[in-house]
Amino acid sequence: MSTPKGNCPQCGRSTQLDPVKNPYRPFCSERCRLIDLGAWFDGSNRLPSEEPADFDDFPDDDVTRH
């Protein structure tokens, strides 16, 4: 049985996807994993979403402003 392989999402190198042989999967190394994590932390990677509603769009009935 052959080990499944894929490409590292960070650098594109071929890497093993077996969790025993590659603890950093789907990345090829700890370095690539940490580069990706850093991109999420600094906001370079983000999921698209709608902008949140502006506070002024809500009725003033139950809102207490300080």
- Distance separating alpha carbons of residues 32 and 65, to the nearest angstrom: 46
65 part of a folded domain: no
Q: Do the domain assignments include residue 22?
A: yes
Residue 47: how many CB atoms within 10 A of its CB?
5
Tell me the pLDDT band of 62, cut-offs 50, 70 and 90. Answer: low
Range of the domain at 39: 5-44
Residue 50 belongs to a domain:
no
28 assigned to a ligand binding site: yes
pLDDT, residue 50, reads 80
- Tell me whether residue 32 is annotated as binding: yes
Asked whether residue 33 is domain-assigned, the answer is yes
For residue range 5-41, list pLDDT tens digits in order: 999 999 999 999 999 999 999 999 999 999 999 999 9
CATH code, domain carrying 28: 3.30.50.10
pLDDT at 65 over 60: no
Domain count, the chain: 1
Sign of the four-CA dihedral 44, 50, 54, 55: negative
In a domain, 28, yes or no: yes
Was 58 annotated as part of a binding site? no
Q: Give the three-state DSSP class for 35.
A: helix
Amino acid 66: pLDDT:
56
Residue with tokens 């190198």: 13
How far is the C-alpha of 66 from the C-alpha of 46, rounded, in Å? 32
Find out whether 63 is annotated in a ligand binding site. Answer: no
